[in-house]
Amino acid sequence: MSFRNLTTAFAPLAACLALACDPELGDDVSRADPVANFERLWDDFDRYYGLFAVKGVDWDALHAVYAPQVRHDSTRAELYAVFADLLGHLGDTHVSLYPAGDPELPVWNHLRVDGVMPVGNYDYDLIRRDYLRDHVDGGELVEYGRLDGDVGYVHLKLFDGDRREWRRTMDDIFAALGDAPGIVVDVRDCPGGLDPLVQYVAGRFAADRRLFMTARKRSGPDRDDFTAPEAWYVEPTDDTYTGPVVLLTSFLTQSAGETFTLAMGTQDHVVHLGEATNGALSDNIMRDLPNGWMVSISVGDYRGPTGASYEGVGVPPDEEVLNTAEEVLAGTDRALERAIARLSGE
């Protein structure tokens, strides 16, 4: 799920986030009606989803397929299955179904298996145990230290908090690692955060001002109703590190972790290694359904500096290096070792 909720940032939608008393639904029995809930979910996506064109999805055609599958006497489990099939066509990790009050029904999105997200072939505990020295635990946001060859290592875990906090954190990191011959920046398990913080942290590694993203958001009921595109630039901010940098990503790199990848990718001294990111860049909102369930909806259309969309496909690396589960279990992080080799001149 995205950590970049639009409740305050996107005024045209803010008034619609809570489900008010709906006179058309009336009592609790009506609110539990599967048909009413299907129509509410379909209509909410019709009004707010920002990626139908990007995904090539015919939402009206899907209504024709799935609406007849829902009856007034459908069970909640049957309704859940229809929702999962319908939303699966979007292939969007920012779209999740939360069947509150139904503990036997797990949280759904298109990647989850029995409600659990895959863990990938990455283990930070392995890095901390076998690769990292002079380790500094910066809490829930960052950890850092040194690798072989005196290479610096920065693990960015979440783009949360505020700019003042991040300024202090980045000052501490550069005080400790600023003399390193190169730095590995690892966002392989970053689930997201706030784009202004992405912009700031990437700016601490920037040598030049570059466009890294344009973003527009749904602004009306028609599917082509969007705000004007907003241009996002990365530029040198405060004291910077502009030595060689290797950025590591994986398919677990999501949301603001992916916009950070776009920002870092504009800089000539940064090389992107690992695997493509998840492909879920857009902001999302939460909507309540009449039966008490909730659903998250991607409302944005985010593009890279060339205008390309990476939704559903992820931001590709300059060099693909894929760890295997067997390697990680055996104590080897091949992607990290490749990053160290590049920064050590091997």
| Spatial distance between the Cα atoms of 100 and 112, rounded to a whole number of angstroms | 17
| Spatial distance between the Cα atoms of 335 and 320, rounded to a whole number of angstroms | 9
| Spatial distance between the Cα atoms of 189 and 126, rounded to a whole number of angstroms | 13
| Spatial distance between the Cα atoms of 233 and 219, rounded to a whole number of angstroms | 23
For 291: left if phi > 0, alpha if psi spans -120 to 50, otherwise beta; the answer is alpha
Q: Which of 250, 248, 251, 255 is nearest to 271 (CA)?
A: 248
Residue bearing tokens 């590995």: 184
> What DSSP designation does 227 have?
P
Reported as half-sphere exposure (CB side, CA atoms, 13 A), residue 346 has a value of 11
Q: Which of 235, 250, 240, 125 is nearest to 183 (CA)?
A: 240
| Spatial distance between the Cα atoms of 79 and 70, rounded to a whole number of angstroms | 7
Per-residue pLDDT 10s for the chain (346 aa) are 344 443 333 333 333 333 334 545 556 668 899 999 999 999 999 999 999 999 999 999 999 999 999 999 999 999 999 999 999 999 999 999 999 989 899 999 998 888 777 777 889 999 999 999 999 998 899 999 999 999 999 999 999 999 999 999 999 999 999 999 999 999 999 999 999 999 999 999 999 999 999 999 999 999 999 999 999 999 999 999 999 999 999 999 999 999 999 999 999 999 999 999 999 999 999 999 999 999 999 999 999 999 999 999 999 999 999 999 999 999 999 999 999 999 987 6
| Spatial distance between the Cα atoms of 164 and 196, rounded to a whole number of angstroms | 12
Report yes or no: 208 and 240 within 8 Å, Cβ to Cβ: no
Question: pTM for this structure?
Answer: 0.89
Residue 166 Cα distances to 197, 202, 238, 298, angstroms:
8, 11, 11, 27
Q: What is the pLDDT of residue 5?
A: 41
Q: What is the pLDDT of residue 19?
A: 39
Report yes or no: 12 and 220 within 8 Å, Cβ to Cβ: yes
Report yes or no: 85 and 107 within 8 Å, Cβ to Cβ: no
Q: What is the pLDDT of residue 27?
A: 61
Report yes or no: 13 and 48 within 8 Å, Cβ to Cβ: yes
Report yes or no: 122 and 188 within 8 Å, Cβ to Cβ: yes
Q: DSSP 3-state assignment of 121?
A: coil
Burial class (CB in 10 A: 0-12, 13-18, 19+), 281: buried
| Spatial distance between the Cα atoms of 91 and 273, rounded to a whole number of angstroms | 24
Q: Which of 101, 135, 116 is nearest to 32 (CA)?
A: 101
| Spatial distance between the Cα atoms of 274 and 183, rounded to a whole number of angstroms | 15
Residue count of the chain: 346
